[in-house]
């Protein structure tokens, strides 16, 4: 079972690439030839040469940056209790001042009924946070996969 991206070993081809490029002098801060090539590849796949591509050091930083950008100060994230932003990430999302409305799930999947419950329970009360983002991951932290129908 895949536990996380920090506890697994590297694929042999990745290690070979490290050895091959180990002594190659590069600029830092995503201005190196690898980041430049990766940016070109991402833009090509997206068929959009104007899209901004930003590299961050981890999935936690990616989640933190994206959620903080998407949410207004009074908005929250809806996620399952086993979801990565709820269960891991050392409170990174909460550190931005955003609440996580966590709901229980047997299989790690967030279902529309639970989203509706959270949205309706928060109504128009200006004393409560307003749900602003629904967080899911494919695959879930429990290894289950959403079907297209579920999404």
Chain mean pLDDT for the chain? 89
Binned at pLDDT 50, 70 and 90, residue 78 comes out as very high
The residue written with tokens 């709820």 in the block is 86
Answer with the residue of higher pLDDT: 104 or 88: 104
- Sequence spans of domains, the chain: 12-46, 59-134
Cα 121 versus chain centre, distance: 26
Among 144, 138, 132, smallest CA distance to 105 is for 144
d(CA 143, CA 130): 29
Query: What is the value of pTM for the model shown?
Result: 0.77
Q: Convert the pLDDT of each residue in 126-139 to its tens digit.
A: 888 999 999 998 88
d(CA 88, CA 60): 9
pLDDT of residue 144: 92
Rounded to the nearest 5°, which phi and psi values hold at 76? -125, 175
d(CA 146, CA 106): 13
CB of 85 closer than 8 Å to CB of 67? yes
User: What integer is the mean pLDDT of 3-16?
Assistant: 80
């Amino acid at each position: 079972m895949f536990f996380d991206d920090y506890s697994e070993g590297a694929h042999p081809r990745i290690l070979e690439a490290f050895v091959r490029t180990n002594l190659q002098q590069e600029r830092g801060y995503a201005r190196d030839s690898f980041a430049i090539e990766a940016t070109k590849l991402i833009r090509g796949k997206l068929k959009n040469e104007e899209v901004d591509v930003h590299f961050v050091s981890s999935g936690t930083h990616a989640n933190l940056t994206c959620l903080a950008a998407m949410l207004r100060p009074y908005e929250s994230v809806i996620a399952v209790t086993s979801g990565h932003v709820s269960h891991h990430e050392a409170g990174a999302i909460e550190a931005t001042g955003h609440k996580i409305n966590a709901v229980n799930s047997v299989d790690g999947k967030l279902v529309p009924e639970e989203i509706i419950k959270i949205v309706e329970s928060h109504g128009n009360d200006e004393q409560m946070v307003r749900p602003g983002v629904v967080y899911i991951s494919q695959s879930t932290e429990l290894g289950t996969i959403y079907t297209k129908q579920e999404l």
